[in-house]
Chains A and B, each alone.
Chain A
Amino acid sequence: MDQTTLNIIVVGLSFVLYFGIAIWARAGSTSEFYAAGRGVNPVINGMATAADWMSAASFISMAGLIAFVGYNNSSFLMGWTGGYVLMAMLLAPYLRKFGKFTVPEFIGDRFYSTTARIVAVVALIVISVTYVIGQMTGAGVAFSRFLEVSSTNGLLIASAVVFVYAVLGGMKGITYTQVAQYCVLIIAYTIPAIFISLQLTGNPIPGLGLFSDMSAGNGGEGTPLLVTLDGLLTDLGFNEYTTGSSPWLMALFTLSLMIGTAGLPHVIIRFFTVPKVSDARWSAGWALVFIALLYLTAPAVGAMARLNITTTLWPNGVQNEAVAADELPDWFATWSATGLLGVEDKNGDGRIQYYNDENQRELAALIEAEGPTGDQTQAEYDSRVAELQSDPTVVRAGERGWEGNELVTFNQDILVLANPEIAQLPGWVIALIAAGGIAAALSTAAGLLLAISSAISHDLIKSAINPDISEKNELLAARISMAGAIVLATWLGLNPPGFAAQTVALAFGLAAASLFPTLMMGIFVKKINAAGATAGMLAGLILTCLYLFTYLGWFFIPGTNMLENNAANYLFGIPPTHFGPIGAVANFAVAFIVSGMTKPTPAHIQELVESVRIPRGAGAAQDH
C-alpha cells in the first residue's frame, strides 16, 4: 500500500470518529449549543481546551520556529503557556460564576452598557475572524501535503467536516470532537519525538533528552546534545543555538503573548462548560497539562530535527566533505517534491554544502559595488570589507570553493513533518502526523467559529435586535450563524486577504489590548464604570491598530505604511508584534481616568461584582 492511500485511510477513520461523536453529542438547547449544558468534566474540558488552543501552527510550525532561531524564540513556549496562569487566577473562575454564555455578555452586564457589549463583539469578531483565516488555510495546506489534493479542495473538505459537527452539536459536539482530536494530535506528535530522542540520547522523554548527552553511534558521544548542536551551527556560520539577544524585547514579546492568550475569547468560553467554579480552576490546570505535553516536547523536536538534518548533510563532520548529492536519503527526495526542501549544486562539485552564506553574499555585493553606497563613508566601507574578509565562514568557503549555501529551500515545517521518516518509523506513523495536523487545524477552527457564531446569535440577535426570541428560535439562529461563519471563513480561506501573514500578531495584540484588561477590571476593580470600560477598550483597540497600521500599512494593505517596518523607526524600539502590553496599559489608564471623572458604578452593579467574586450560587446561575 503506498503512503498516500495509508494517509487517506487513517485520516478517513479519524473523520468517521468525529462524525460519530457529532451524532452522539447533538445539541438540544441553547445551553448545550453555547456551553455544552455546563456538564463537562474538568479533565475532559482541559483536553478540549488544549485542542482548541493548539492550532495547525502549534502542531506543524512551532518546533521549526524555535529551531531556526534558537533561544530567543523560547518566547513562544513561555508566552503561549504562561497566559493560562493569568486565565486561571484572574478570569476563568469568576466568568464561570457569572454563568452566562459569551464574553461580550459579561462585559455588557458588568458595565451595564449595550455600547460596551457591542464594542466587545467587534473586538471578538476581529480577533476570531483574523485567527480563523490562518486555521482554514492551515487545514488546506495539511490536506494538500498528505492527501495529494489541491489546497482549495483540502480547505473545502475541512469546512464540510467542521460544518457537520459544529452546526449539529454546537459547543457540545465541538467539545467531544476536540477531545478525540487532542488524542490524535498528541499521539502523532510524541511518537516520532520519543523515537528520535531515544536514537540520539537514549532518553525516551524528549524534554529530558534535549538536556542529555549524545548516545553512542551519533558522533560526539558523551557530549551534551546542545553543545554538539551549538558547535555544528557555529562551524557553519549560524548563530549559536543557546545564545540570545535583546532580553527586554524578548520579555515584552513574551508578555504580549501571555496577555493575548488570556484574552482570546474562544479559549475563555471553554471554561463556561464546566459545572462549578472550583471545576473551572482545576480545568485550567488540566488544560495546561495537556498543552505542556506538546510544548515541552516541541523545543526538543526542533533542536533534534535541526541536528539530524545538519548531520545528514555533513555525515563526516563539518571539517570533512559534505554529503554527495546522489547519497541523500530517500526522505530528502520525497520532501523536495513538495517544495519544502530544495538543493542546488551551485559549485558543481557533486556535493551539497549547507552553511550560512549571508556574510559571503554581503562581501560579494560590496566588492561588486566597488565603493561605498548610500550614506556609507569610504572608511566604513573599508572596515566592513576587511571585517567580512576575515569572517571564519567566509574564509572557509573561499578555501574550500563553496559558492553559496546549496540547501536553497529549508521550510521550518519540515522539522515536524519529516520526523517519522528521519527516525525510520513505519508508514502508519507518517499517516498519524497527517491526521494530527488536520485535527489541530479543525479543532481550533471549530472553537473560533463557535465564539464568532455565539457572539452573533446571542449578543447581537438575542440581545440587541430581538430580545423576545424564543429558546427554539435562538437555537436555530445559533445554527444559522454557525453556518454563516463557516461559509465566511471558507471564503476568506480561499481568498486570503494580503495581510494573512500578519493576522496572528494582530489577534494577539488586540486580545491583549482590548478584552483582557476590560474583563480583569470588570472583576477586580468595582469603580470602573460603563464610560470608563468603553473608553478603555476603544483606546486599547485604536492605539494598537494605529501602531500596527503605521508599520504594516493601513488595514495591512502593502505600500500604505507611513513608516518603514524596521527597528530604526520603532517607537522606543518596540516592534508592532510586541505592542500588546502597551495597548493594555493604555486601556487600563484610560478606564481609570474616565471612571474617575464620570458617575460612579451603581450599587446593584457593585453587588454583581461581589457575587462574581464568590463561588457560592454558581449552580443557580446555571438555569439561565
Chain B
Amino acid sequence: MADTTNKAASDGQGYWKANLRLIYTLLIIWALASFGFGILLRPALSGIEVGGTDLGFWFAQQGSILVFLVLIFFYAWRMNKLDRDYGVDE
C-alpha cells in the first residue's frame, strides 16, 4: 500500500500497522472457523464426535457464529485500547 505523504507520520503509521496486523490475525481465525472447520477441513475433524455428529457440523451450524461474536468484541476492545495507547481516541 502506498502510504507516502503524511505529517503525523510515525504515530499514525504505527497505529495503522497495528490495526492491520490485528485484522490479519482475526480474519485468519474467521476463515479457519467457517471455511476451515465448518466446510473444507470437516473430513479431517470427523473423528471428533459432538452430539451424534462431528465437530465440523457443529462448527457449520453453531460454532462459527460463536467464534464471529468473540472476534468482533475482541476487535472492538483491542482497537479502543489501541486508540488510547496511540493517542488517537475521540
Contacts and interface: CB of A to CB of B under 8 A. Distances in A.
By secondary structure, the A interface counts as helix
Contact of A254 (B16, B35, B53): B35
A224 B26 contact: no
By secondary structure, the B interface counts as helix
B45 interface: no
Contact of B76 (A88, A226, A296, A299): A88
Interface stretch (A176-184, A474-482, A494-502, A607-615): A607-615
Report, as a range, how many residues of chain A touch the other chain: 35 or more
Given A85-B72, A615-B89, A607 B34 contact: no
Contacts of B50: 211
A299 B90 CA distance: 41
A84 B39 CA distance: 19
Contacts of B30: 82, 85
B5 A278 contact: no
A278 B89 contact: yes
A250 interface: yes
B61 A285 contact: no
Interface in B60-90: 60-62, 64-66, 68-69, 71-73, 75-76, 79-80, 83, 87-90
Given A81-B68, A223-B52, A296-B65, A610 B12 contact: yes
Report, as a range, how many residues of chain B touch the other chain: 35 or more
A581 to B, nearest CB: 12
A71 B52 contact: no
Contacts of B12: 610, 613-614
B40 A619 contact: no
A211 B72 contact: no
Interface in A182-239: 207, 210-213, 223-228, 230
Contacts of A276: 90
B2 interface: yes
A248 B54 CA distance: 19
Interface of A: 66, 71, 74, 77-78, 81-82, 84-85, 88-90, 93, 207, 210-213, 223-228, 230, 242, 244, 247-248, 250-251, 254-255, 258, 276-278, 281-282, 284-285, 288-289, 292, 295-296, 299, 524-527, 603, 606-607, 610, 613-619
Given A77-B64, A278-B89, 7 more contacts: A85-B72, A93-B79, A211-B58, A278-B90, A285-B69, A607-B5, A613-B16
11 contacts: A71-B60, A77-B65, A84-B72, A85-B71, A89-B26, A211-B53, A213-B52, A224-B53, A251-B40, A281-B80, A606-B5
Interface of B: 1-6, 8, 12, 15-16, 19, 23, 26-27, 30, 34-35, 38-40, 42, 50-54, 57-58, 60-62, 64-66, 68-69, 71-73, 75-76, 79-80, 83, 87-90
